[in-house]
């Protein structure tokens, strides 16, 4: 459990910022999450923006989030949803590097702008792989190291400052490669730059990783 929730910045400002970012990528979120099915684990669920995106193919959602301040907001979001959607979702305070679920118990894992912030993404992916059933899918949407060299240089330079005020978020991760190295077959991967995002986090990668 993270104690950042007792810091006013992380209690009020950071969740507000997350909500703003979420609105910009609402279409991408809807499209990606429409592919979720069965038992879903959403890692780093944040303020709960994804909850309303899960469709009838989803039987239940474990929404895992280590930050108590952010989780507080997610609880409010959940309470406003219609019964059928609300009853599917269980909020769990936990870390992606130590997921409190059984081996092979999940059909779909969702990582939406999360692997940038997890201190050891390779460890989190090991855990994700453990809880996913063979053939289960990891749906991901992440900002990553830019394809543009000039931007890369600024990402490397500013990363030490950025991650201190952005909840541990790293600007220069090569998340696609980390996912592949963790034993996922990457499918329908798309790299693109999102014009509405600040240049340092504009390079996005989204797709599906299938657990071998």
Ligand X SMILES: C[S@@+](CC[C@H](N)C(=O)[O-])C[C@H]1O[C@@H](n2cnc3c(N)ncnc32)[C@H](O)[C@@H]1O
Contact positions vs ligand X (CB under 6 A): 18, 22, 43-46, 49, 65-67, 70, 95-97, 112-114, 117-118, 167-168
- Smallest separation, CB 102 to ligand X (Å): 18
Contact in structure between 37 and 58 (CB atoms under 8 Å): yes
To ligand X, the closest distance from the beta carbon of 79 in angstroms equals: 18
Distance of closest approach, residue 37 Cβ to ligand X, in angstroms? 19
Instruction: Choose between 22 and 60: whose C-beta lies nearer to ligand X.
Output: 22
Least distance from C-beta 197 to ligand X, angstroms?
A: 12
DSSP the chain: -BGGGGSHIIIIIHHHHHHHHHHHTHHHHHHHHTT--EEEEEET-TTSTTGGG--TTEEEEEEE--BHHHHHHHHHHHHTS-HHHHTTEEEE---TTS--S-TT-EEEEEEES-TTTSS-HHHHHHHHHHHEEEEEEEEEEEE-S-SSHHHHHHHHHHHHHHHHHTTT--SS--HHHHHHHTTEEEEEEEEEE-TTS-GGG-EEEEEEEEE-
CB of 179 to ligand X, least distance (A): 16
Measured from the Cβ of residue 80, the count of other Cβ atoms closer than 10 Å reads 11
Considering beta carbons, is residue 83 or 92 the nearer one to ligand X? 92
Closer residue to ligand X (CB): 49 or 203 = 49
Least Å distance, CB 28 to ligand X, is 10
User: Which is nearer to ligand X, 8 or 134 (by Cβ)?
Assistant: 8
Nearest CB to ligand X, comparing residues 62 and 113: 113
Q: Which residue has the tokens 């459990």?
A: 1
- d(Cα 123, Cα 36) in Å, to the nearest integer? 23
C-beta of 60 vs 150, nearer to ligand X: 60
């Amino acid at each position: 459990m993270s104690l950042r929730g007792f810091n006013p910045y992380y209690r009020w400002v950071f969740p507000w910022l997350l909500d703003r970012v979420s609105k910009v990528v609402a279409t991408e979120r809807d499209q990606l999450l429409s592919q979720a099915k069965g038992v879903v684990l959403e890692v780093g669920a944040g303020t709960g923006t994804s909850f309303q995106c899960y469709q009838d193919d989803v039987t239940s959602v474990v929404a895992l989030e280590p930050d108590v301040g952010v989780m507080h907001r997610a609880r409010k979001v959940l309470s406003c949803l219609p019964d059928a959607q609300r009853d599917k979702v269980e909020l769990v305070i936990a870390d992606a590097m130590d997921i409190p679920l059984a081996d092979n118990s999940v059909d779909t894992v969702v990582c939406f702008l999360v692997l940038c912030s997890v201190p050891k993404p390779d460890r989190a992916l090991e855990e994700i792989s453990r809880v996913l059933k063979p053939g289960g899918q990891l749906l991901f949407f992440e900002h990553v190291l830019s394809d543009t060299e000039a931007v890369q240089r600024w990402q490397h330079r500013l990363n030490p400052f950025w991650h201190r005020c952005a909840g541990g978020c790293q600007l220069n991760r090569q998340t696609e490669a980390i996912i592949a190295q963790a034993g996922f077959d990457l499918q329908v991967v798309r790299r693109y730059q999102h014009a509405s995002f600040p240049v340092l986090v504009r390079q996005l990668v989204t797709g599906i990783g299938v657990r071998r």
